[in-house]
Structure 1
Amino acid sequence: MDLQLERRTAVVTGASAGIGRGIATCLAREGARVALVARRADRLAELADELAAQGPHRPVVVQADITEEAGRRAAAAQAEEALGPVSILANSAGGRRPSGLTASDDEWAAAMNLNFESMRRLTTLFLPGMRAAGWGRVINVTGKSEPPRVSGEFCAKAAAHAWAKGLSRELGPDGITVNSLAPGRILSEQMLRNYTDADRAEHVKEIPVGSYGHPEDIGRLAAFLASPGAAYITGTVIPVDGGLRRYQF
């Protein structure tokens, strides 16, 4: 299926590993011109070399920490200088931070900033260009917002879902869609670091399709949502979890 992304420009955060890398890979293979954003320049350069050998464009490497205002502004400026107006933004940076029941205010703020505020603020930088063009795609990698415990991470994801839904309603008339993807058990660098082989074997027993997912399982859906063919899909939270979650919607 031709996703008609050859002339589109995309920014992918968290692109040095895991789900961000999978999204960047799928967009680049579909012909999009991609800016890879993350803190680890060496990992970004490796990915850029790999994708340049597979597709028509060499991705642009943008080393930046989007949890900081200066980093977000630098990332937006460098991406637009290299690619021109950006029409696709994939917000896939995020992760765990200590933020449980006894966590400090600073720890809670760090978790919310990493998993929600940075995404919101970076998106705001690209919206004027998308609105002027009358076309845009915002794709957020979030997760489940049904908390198994007190956690800033889960609260941030719930906030991201509410923000994205409201944003989709405001931006629909401008030809911009906003969607969120909720990964399940994805075999990423974080999963390999945080869980043992025995842990992952137990996890698989809970997944109806019988296996972990892979970053490109998220990437392929993100590429479709970024395409003109997904123009009528907006304001959604789409689980990509092999049937793991038990809730209906």
Structure 2
Amino acid sequence: MDLQLAGKVALVTGASAGIGRTIARMLAAEGCRLAILARRRPLLETLAAELPAGAGTLVLAEDLTDPGSAPRIRDAVLGHFGRCDILINNAGGSRGQPPGELGAEAVWQEAMELNFHAARRLTHALVPAMRAGRFGRIVNVTGPDEPFSINPANAPNGATHIWAKALSREVGRDGITVNSIPPGRIRSEQIDARVMPDEASRRAWAEKEVPAGYIGQPEDLAVLAVWLASPLARYITGQVIHVDGGTRRSSN
């Protein structure tokens, strides 16, 4: 199937590893021109070298928690490509707390800054250009907002889903869609290092919690992100679509 993405300009944040890196590769394979962003420039440069020459890749080493980063990124992308059609807000991270602890104020503030405000600021900076082009795809890779435990990342996930829904109603007539994808357990740096560092723990989790029977790979989520970024997904907006192998128990 032709996703009609050839020549589209996409900005992927958190592109240095895992889900973001995989989404960038898939978008490039579909013919997108790419801006890739993260804090670790060497990993971005390695990725850029792997992408097709036609991607014309722009490498942006930025810390999105810096409030001044959004206008810098906007100006760099628009200055290089002339437009931005697709924004993949993938940068973020979990902030779990030890059992019985509620967490320091600084941890909660940092989690909200990284997992909500950073993507909101960057999106708001780029929406005017998308409106001018009468096309835009905004895909937020978020996380679950089900309160399994005290995790400072849960509140920003919920905030992102509500903000994205409101934004989708604001920009829908401009040809812009806004959707969110909360991943379940997907193999990544964070999951492998912090949550399930060995194969035995991954197998035990999958057997107990995942109806699909395995921990997902980045490709399992990236295929949805790329589809939502395409012109074909024009009637899908304001949605929160879980990619978790059936782990989530709620039906809505």
Following the alignment from structure 1 to structure 2, what is the Cα–Cα distance between the partners of residues 109 and 178?
Answer: 25
Amino acid at match of 1:67: T
Aligned to 2:205: 203
Aligned to 2:54: 56
1:142-175 per-residue CA deviation (whole Å, 9 max, x = no partner) reads: 1111111222200110000000001111111111
1:70-128 per-residue CA deviation (whole Å, 9 max, x = no partner) reads: 22222222122222110100000000236685323222110101111111011000000
Aligned to 2:238: 235
User: Which secondary structure does the structure 1 equivalent of 2:235 belong to?
Assistant: coil
Aligned to 1:79: 77
Residue 186 of structure 1 pairs with residue 165 of structure 2: no
Report how many aligned residue pairs link the two structures: 247
Following the alignment from structure 2 to structure 1, what is the Cα–Cα distance between the partners of residues 234 and 193?
Answer: 37
Percent identity over the alignment is: 48
Q: 1:49 touches 1:58 (CA, 8 Å); kept in 2?
A: no
Amino acid at match of 1:189: E
Following the alignment from structure 2 to structure 1, what is the Cα–Cα distance between the partners of residues 126 and 113?
Answer: 18
Runs of 4+ in structure 1 displaced over 3 angstroms? 97-102
Residue 138 of structure 1 pairs with residue 103 of structure 2: no
Change (3 A) 1:164 1:151: same
Cα deviation, residue 196, structure 1: 2.3
Q: 1:98 touches 1:107 (CA, 8 Å); kept in 2?
A: no
Amino acid at match of 1:10: A
Residue 33 of structure 1 pairs with residue 42 of structure 2: no
- Given the two structures, how large is their TM-score scaled by the length of structure 1? 0.95
Aligned to 1:95: 93
Following the alignment from structure 2 to structure 1, what is the Cα–Cα distance between the partners of residues 16 and 214?
Answer: 24
Cα deviation, residue 244, structure 1: 1.2
- Given the two structures, how large is their TM-score scaled by the length of structure 2? 0.94
Q: 2:88 touches 2:140 (CA, 8 Å); kept in 1?
A: yes
User: Can you give the 5+ residue segments of structure 1 that lack an aligned partner in the other structure?
Assistant: none
Following the alignment from structure 1 to structure 2, what is the Cα–Cα distance between the partners of residues 217 and 240?
Answer: 8
Aligned to 2:172: 172
Cα deviation, residue 56, structure 1: 3.0
1:19-69 per-residue CA deviation (whole Å, 9 max, x = no partner) reads: 1111111111100001000000000011111113xx632421111111112
Q: Pairwise CA RMSD of aligned residues?
A: 1.4
